[in-house]
Structure 1
């Protein structure tokens, strides 16, 4: 079965969010629970016990699509499945295309908890994120990453007992087998932090504690799996419990994979430096040739010239000087642009 703690966190995210949707369906399509964004709004004459069905929330024709994906995932021993559904908007009865991931939460693979969101280019970031992060910037990054399926898993740290726990999904990513997870129980993710990144992470965590949580914990760092595979992640966290002395007693958070983003940054940095050096060399090489032309023109000035040839030499000299000025201006602007760009790509 699924890592229930992780699913509960995602479920709580949907409940507190103005954007994500949540629904739990049984095998027959009856809605066991849902957020206020799904189903018709009951009138005063409706029974409080009136059941809500799949067809009250989504187009009835989508049921076969949902069932096909559920059965396919069940037969393939997958723990979740994805499906696009047309959500019915009440009371206007219009529809909105939504994307869902459903998780099996019963032994018979019939009851499924779904987390969904509208399929649209706009990304609304005014979300509630349960016990994790406050602050617009952090929310943006978390939501972007969640929608791009880069969530690795969750962690829970008790500083007083010096114990930390990780979700099953994160343990799998770090290379632990189901047997090892069941045998070891508590697995520390901190021992998988890259040695070069460990002190910086501790510093940011200390700042979070020092400010009594007003500065959320956020850090980019590398983690190393048991198979010696390195991945870049962003760690988000927040102290959710303080003791009577004002010290942290429970810290919770999540890890998001940013390996591909880091690879692109490294490529862009190397490509930028190559193009910068190439442009620098070519610009100065051109200026050297311009200087040679101007030197030749000075020599020609000492020789006898006809009126026509003198005019031509003056034109060549003027255009060559303008070219030299353009090259100097271009080099200066390029240097300033490079300095600005390099400030923006400094490692965090």
Structure 2
């Protein structure tokens, strides 16, 4: 998958919200494409009559900052770079501080796709992610991942010929060298899926195809690079080309790194089970001691006592029964909450 095919995949996000911004700049700073939130209006899309440049979208003094970050990323062989820019708001010419991640999409590391958002948004999220993401996806999940520099790369899949293609960035992440990327025409990301996850991912992909796209393709799984590095990823995909008979001809999608998220989930799960067992043992240990106290009180009831002593024994017995009932209620609620939590975890998996 070459760089322009990759950008076409990401462009299918069809970002139209006031919060989420998109722009593509060439090496000279000319705007090749953008959403309606960038540049002057109405001449934004009329590139033939009046080309739009960096200084039409951002403060001209910010160009040095942008160029420094671009060159630094290029020299360090980074796939993308972050930069904060003062965006010009047309037509009132005010500015808004925005944060961007720019991805290299040309071989000379000059042309860059930028995805940005206001640093201090005045409005809540109002994200329109187009057809690439439908109602079955958690929009914020994808948006947050993109903004956190977790995008690994893009993929294409031709199910009729079982042929795959991946972007150079994804190929590098999987451990392929530059010469391998150029010499191997159809690198596969599916061949790198962890064997324990492969059947589940394959079934989810088949379900997407069988439902003619009505069931979205979204899957979390482990992917293994050539040097055996394991990375947890989430894959989003969509069928973008259909035959006249309704058969899928092409799927396009992207992979996002969720390794840190999974580490947190595993930590929470392990500690949940530890705390659950601890609470169970402590609760039943307390109930055992309460039962011992009640047994002693029953023995004492068989003997005669002074009125004041009997009164105190009755109070102790009542309070002990109330404590036992509270413990039983707490144990029952804890079991119910645990079952609900485990069902949620199983549903996410």
TM-score of the aligned structures, taking structure 2 as reference length? 0.86
Task: Map residues 198-277 of structure 1 onto 2, 5 A cutoff.
Answer: 198-277=198-277
Distance 1:99 1:87, change over 3 A: same
In 2, Cα distance between equivalents of 1:111 and 1:169: 15
Contact 1:125 1:136 in 2 (8 A): no
What residue number does 1:20 align with? 21
SS in 2 for 1:345: helix
Cα gap change, 1:198 to 1:105, in 2 (>3 Å): closer
CA RMSD of aligned residues (A): 2.8
**C-alpha distance in 2, partners of 1:171/1:23?**
23
> 1 CA distance for matches of 2:296 and 2:202?
65
Q: Could you say if the C-alpha distance between residues 268 and 73 of structure 1 is closer, same or farther in structure 2, counting changes exceeding 3 Å?
A: closer
- Higher mean Cα deviation, 309-318 or 334-343? 309-318
SS in structure 1 opposite 2:154? strand
- Report the alpha carbon displacement of residue 164 of structure 1 after superposing the two structures with TM: 0.9
Deviation per CA, 1:306-348: give whole Å up to 9, x if none: 2222222222222111111111111111111111111111152
Following superposition, the deviation at residue 53 of structure 1 comes to 4.4
User: What does the per-residue CA deviation read over 1:213-267, in whole Å, with 9 as the maximum and x for residues that have no partner?
Assistant: 1112222222221122222222221222222332222121112222222222222
Q: Distance in 2 between matches of 1:79 and 1:221?
A: 23
- Aligned positions, number: 342
Residue segments in structure 1 that go unaligned for 5+ positions in a row = none
Q: Counterparts of 1:15 and 1:302 in 2: how far apart (Å)?
A: 80
Structure 1 residue 85: Cα displacement? 0.8
On the 8 A contact 1:126/1:136 being kept in 2, the answer is no
Kindly report which structure 2 residues correspond to 1:106-145, keeping only aligned pairs within 5 A, or say none.
112-120=112-120, 122-128=124-130, 132-135=132-135, 137-145=137-145
TM-score, normalised with respect to structure 1? 0.86
Question: Residues of 2 paired with 1:15 and 1:123: CA distance?
Answer: 12
Deviations 1:188-234 (A, max 9, x none): 22211222222222222222222221112222222221122222222
Deviations 1:264-293 (A, max 9, x none): 222212211111111111111111111111
| Structure 2: unaligned runs, 5 residues or longer | none
- For residues 24-173 of structure 1, the aligned pairs below 5 Å read 24=25, 26-27=27-28, 29=29, 31=31, 33-41=33-41, 49-50=49-50, 52-78=52-78, 80-104=80-104, 112-120=112-120, 122-128=124-130, 132-135=132-135, 137-173=137-173
Q: 2: CA distance between counterparts of 1:106 and 1:208?
A: 32
Distance apart, 1:6 and its partner CA: 2.2
Hey, what does 1:319 align to over in structure 2?
A: 319
Distance between the aligned counterparts of 1:99 and 1:296, measured in 2? Answer: 70
Q: Evaluate the alpha carbon distance shift between residue 168 and residue 336 of structure 1 in structure 2; reply closer, same or farther with a 3 A threshold.
A: same
1:60 shift after superposition: 3.7
CA offset at residue 42 of structure 1? 5.2
Over 3 Å counting, the alpha-carbon distance change for 1:201 and 1:53 in structure 2 is closer
